[in-house]
Every structure is written in structure tokens, then in C-alpha cells.
Amino acid sequence: MRSGLSRREAAKMAAARRAELSSLMLDLADLKRCLAGAYRNFNSSVEPELIEASVYEINSLQSKYAYLVRMIKTIGNTNAQSLSFSEKITSHKPRGGDSS
């Protein structure tokens, strides 16, 4: 049986899928760098307002990360488990001196 797509159409669709997947992977790499920076800010913050802002930023970036992983799973048959981001903020201990 023959599917509804010609070889040329199938090749175009495969190329478009690879391009989309490549773009998503680049976005994911950028997001990983942003997350690393957000964690650095969180870990170096001592002011409560800055700590709270860092928590919101990290949560926002984690949501975007989860979305990209979901899209990558949908588009390509990749081992997306290696893309999972499971770090959570559990506590914060400011570095440096006593804040009393």
C-alpha cells in the first residue's frame, strides 16, 4: 500500500521536523544557561526580596523547560528522560556573615 505522501513530501516533512527539533534543542540549551544563572543568583542572594525574586525566576524557567521537553518528546523520538530537570529549591542558606 502507498501512503498519501510522495517521497519528496515525506522528505520535506522530515527536514522540517529535524529543523524544528534542532531549534527546540538550541532553545533548551539557552534555557539551561539561564537556569544556571538563576541558581547562581539564588545562591548568592542574602536579601529576602532578592531570594524571593530568584525563586520566582527559577520556577518560571523550570516551567519553560518542562514545556520545551514536552515539545521535543512530541516532535522527535529522543531519549527525553535525559532532558528532565528535577532540581527543586528546598532551602536557602545565605553565605557570609550573620544577618542579626
pLDDT tens per residue, range 34-76 = 999 999 999 999 999 999 999 999 999 999 999 999 999 998 8
Picking from 28, 30, 36, the residue whose alpha carbon sits closest to that of residue 82 is: 28
Q: Is residue 14 part of a domain?
A: no
Does the residue 9 lie in any domain? Answer: no
Taking a C-beta distance cutoff of 8 angstroms, is the pair 94, 46 a contact?
A: yes
Asked if the structure places residue 4 within a domain, the reply is: no
Domain boundaries, position 40: 28-88
- CA 84 → CA 21, 28, 62, 81, 92, distances in Å? 16, 11, 10, 5, 23
pLDDT over 70 percentage in the chain: 73
Classify residue 35: in a domain, yes or no: yes
Query: What whole-number distance in Å separates Cα of residue 12 and Cα of residue 23?
Result: 16
In a domain, 54, yes or no: yes
Q: Does a structural domain hold residue 95? A: no
Q: Residue 77 has what pLDDT? A: 67
- The answer to whether the CB of 68 falls within 8 A of the CB of 85 is no
List the grid coordinates of 10: 515525506
